[in-house]
A and B are shown apart, each in its own frame.
Chain A
Amino acid sequence: MSRPDPAHTHDPARHLSPARVLDVDPLLADPKTRIVVCCGSGGVGKTTTAAALGLRAAERGRKVVVLTIDPARRLAQSMGIDSLDNTPRRVKGIDDSAGGELHAMMLDMKRTFDEIVEAHADPERAAAILGNPFYQSLSAGFAGTQEYMAMEKLGQLRARDEWDLIVVDTPPSRSALDFLDAPKRLGSFLDGRLIRLLTAPAKLGGRAGMKFLNVGMSMMTGTLGKLLGGQLLKDVQTFVSAMDTTFGGFRTRADATYKLLQAPGTAFLVVAAPERDALREAAYFVERLAAEDMPLAGLVLNRVHGSGAGRLSAERALAAAENLEEPRIVDQEGGKAVLRNSLDTYDSSDSPASETPAPAAAEASDGGSPAEDAENTENTERSVDQLTAGLLRLHAERMQLLSREQRTRDRFTALHPEVAVTEVGALPGDVHDLAGLRDIGDRLAANERELPDPADDSEPPHADSRPEASA
């Protein structure tokens, strides 16, 4: 798939436009790509992006599993995974003519944790761990457990080697970095010094310099015991030592899953919306991936707005809307004639090429014959003018949004010109069926710039031809 190098197709003056365009299809088609991780801050469409990528890859012949974390109900239903049973289910209704398959699953964090315990401990010990109150609160809602378990599940899916491609959604959090940090935090907390001290204070005896620590320890366990209740501390101790003897250390385990993310065949996609906070998070993430030697495939910029009438600026649209909403002046016919006349002149001089197809014939085929015009009452004309004014205000709003989004995107690309970007147009509604996901997939792969480049949006200067100037 050869595409023109954007560096050559763009005017060098537009140095703010993305240096590289992210080409999704080759990434998905490459048999060497085994894991695609979609990350980004909450609320930017990560889950939808992951599902759309999975569907696209499957319909192009790959055997795919999508691991979603917290999908919107209707999106989950559309893939047939509205029941949370922690096993991949085959998605029906996809185009499998290329020989691909799509499986999807929703992460059940508690179940995943239980499975680890069951897989590593003999039944008796497993039952003891699963029944431990501290384990129960840890597996149900400890900060970082969801991230840890998402990574754990990814490791399991990869180890089963049943799929060519695993697409992973990451847990919703304020910061995209949580996905990378939380498992380590959890691991190092459970493996941490304090927990070691608590669980095995006897081992400390005898070593020089530990005397002070021992005094501190007894005081501390005393205070913590009073505060938390002795039982909780005992629970923690029992839990940690049970886990330790079954599979030796949480941190080791966290480290192993972490390495999977650095392995060849893993590609990260950072998902963001063209909003300041989301792109700031994306930038942090990009920097972090580089520091960790994790391969970044590019940035998916979701919910980008475009306009088919991008050459009509917000200011001109608003001025025109005001013009339409003003009460008609007394000598209406005369005024209108002058107006039309002056505008047609400006129009034909501005774009002579577009005026060449016989205008009279075109006008007739439009159905706007003079006879019909005469029938139009003043009232319908008024309400159409009102509608038109509304359309223009709507357009002005769109153009303002578009230029804000463009500024935000350009700030990101100026900081990270090395990051390939694909833009996905905003949809008015939510996606909740396979057709909608397929549509997103097409948009992801289309490489169409939704937002204009910086040099494209300036309106040619002809402010003096505005009607209010002539009225």
Chain B
Amino acid sequence: MSRLQVVSGKGGTGKTTVAAALALALATEGKRTLLVEVEGRQGIAQLFETEALPYEERKIAVAPGGGEVYALAIDPELALLDYLQMFYKLGGAGRALKKLGAIDFATTIAPGLRDVLLTGKACEAVRRKDKSGRFAYDYVVMDAPPTGRITRFLNVNDEVAGLAKIGPIHNQAQAVMRVLKSPETAVHLVTLLEEMPVQETVDGIAELRSARLPVGRIIVNMVRPEVLDAADLELVRTVPRSTVARSLSSAGLGGARRGGRAERLVDPLLTQAEEYAERYALEHEQRAVLTELGLPLHELPLFAEGMDLAGLYELARELREQGVS
């Protein structure tokens, strides 16, 4: 099992939720995981119902069986200052640079620099060992940028190639790429059973593969429960309306005669079933497209009432049962 698990996906597919659930799932049985946020949105804090995360690793959840989930929101400005401090011993000058907006400026004109700082921090956590030589974290899970940007984000070497050819940033990029292109890393893509997210997933995988980044699993999120199966949908097309009316009536919903309460329900209910059938067919189509990719495919249920902490643990349990951890 790869120790750095990168979770990406089209915006709106719930990649932060899946990343958090994965961190929880991987933490069971006494393991320790670090969940890393790189886009400064504080999505993890919202999900775990805690206050905004600072730029330091802190425990945010306990997993079943005594495991622990730590979280870190990486701030590229502070990460850059760390580096400058480490390599150039800037002292107070670092603060002056920050005040002048130079840090912001540097990460803005060179987005690759920003990315290498973010991935660098995550890779450092992957490699970190404690005094006894044991890894500080069993797994690091990264809530990464969306599918459209993930390959550029991870392919830091190319991105900083135009920057310093020697020096700490260069070395940093080399070290990061060694981790990212190794079996130590797996990039998972979160999608929905809809046309655009699936298309983006297919494109994203092609890009990752051509950059030789290790693609992990596809996780289909927010899958709606199957209320009617194929046999039911077949019956919907052929069933006489009057039979359905009588069935509704026997369930206590009024008269089955024409104009009766139960009879008047038949048309709208069958219309809803037809809409369901259409969506069902579309979802099958998209599922087939995903299956063809030949990657491990997992499905997570939709929580109609919205995601909360209990739902997150539920998803983590689901991921464990599906053998993701």
Q: Which residues of A line the B interface, CB within 8 A? A: 42-43, 72-74, 133-134, 137, 141-143, 172, 174, 189, 192-195, 216, 219-220, 223-224, 226-229, 231-232, 236, 276, 307-309, 312, 316, 319-321, 323-324, 336, 339-340, 343-344, 346-348, 350-351, 354-357, 359-360, 362-363, 365-368, 376, 380-381, 383-395, 397-398, 400-401, 404, 428-430, 465-468
Q: Are B273 and A236 in contact (CB under 8 A)?
A: no
Which residue of B152, B167, B250 is within 8 Å of A324 (Cβ)? Answer: B250
- Other contacts beyond A223-B93, A308-B272, A367-B242: 17, CB < 8 A: A43-B11, A174-B11, A193-B101, A195-B105, A220-B100, A223-B102, A227-B169, A229-B163, A350-B254, A351-B261, A355-B259, A366-B258, A387-B228, A387-B235, A387-B247, A389-B251, A397-B304
Which chain B residue has the least Cβ–Cβ distance from A174? B11
Q: Is B113 an interface residue when CB atoms closer than 8 A count as contact? A: yes
Q: How far is the CA of A347 from the CA of B239 in the complex (A)?
A: 24
Q: Are A387 and B236 in contact (CB under 8 A)?
A: yes
Q: Are A398 and B11 in contact (CB under 8 A)?
A: no
Q: Are B100 and A344 in contact (CB under 8 A)?
A: no
Which residue of A321, A346, A404, A465 is within 8 Å of B251 (Cβ)? Answer: A321
Q: Are A363 and B257 in contact (CB under 8 A)?
A: yes
Q: How far is the CA of A423 from the CA of B246 in the complex (A)?
A: 35
Q: Which residues of A contact B243 (CB under 8 A)?
A: 368, 376, 380-381, 384
Q: Is B165 an interface residue when CB atoms closer than 8 A count as contact? A: yes
Q: How far is the CA of A193 from the CA of B110 in the complex (A)?
A: 18
User: Contacts A194-B101, A232-B162, A367-B242 hold; do A391 and B259 have CB atoms under 8 A apart?
Assistant: no
Q: Are B113 and A228 in contact (CB under 8 A)?
A: yes
Q: Are A391 and B244 in contact (CB under 8 A)?
A: yes
Q: Which residues of B line the A interface, CB within 8 A? A: 11-12, 41, 84, 88, 90, 93, 96-97, 100-102, 105-106, 108-111, 113, 152, 162-165, 167, 169, 194-196, 199, 227-228, 232, 235-236, 239-262, 264-265, 267-273, 275-276, 278-279, 282, 304-306
Q: Are A232 and B109 in contact (CB under 8 A)?
A: yes
Q: Are B108 and A189 in contact (CB under 8 A)?
A: yes
Q: Are A137 and B108 in contact (CB under 8 A)?
A: no
User: Contacts A194-B101, A390-B228 hold; do A398 and B272 have CB atoms under 8 A apart?
Assistant: yes
Q: How far is the CA of A141 from the CA of B265 in the complex (A)?
A: 54
Q: Are B270 and A343 in contact (CB under 8 A)?
A: no
Which chain A residue has the least Cβ–Cβ distance from B84? A223
Q: Which residues of B contact A430 (CB under 8 A)?
A: 194-196, 282
Q: Are B227 and A42 in contact (CB under 8 A)?
A: no
Which chain B residue has the least Cβ–Cβ distance from A401? B304
Q: Which residues of A contact B306 (CB under 8 A)?
A: 276
User: Whole-angstrom distance from the CB of B56 to the nearest CB of chain A?
Assistant: 24
User: Contacts A174-B11, A343-B249, A428-B278 hold; do A387 and B232 have CB atoms under 8 A apart?
Assistant: yes
Q: How far is the CA of A74 from the CA of B248 in the complex (A)?
A: 41
Q: Which residues of A contact B247 (CB under 8 A)?
A: 324, 381, 384-385, 387-388
User: Whole-angstrom distance from the CB of A113 to the nearest CB of chain B?
Assistant: 16
Q: How far is the CA of A334 from the CA of B1 in the complex (A)?
A: 62
Q: How far is the CA of A398 from the CA of B279 in the complex (A)?
A: 14
User: Whole-angstrom distance from the CB of A382 to the nearest CB of chain B?
Assistant: 10
Q: Which residues of B contact A228 (CB under 8 A)?
A: 106, 109-110, 113, 163-164
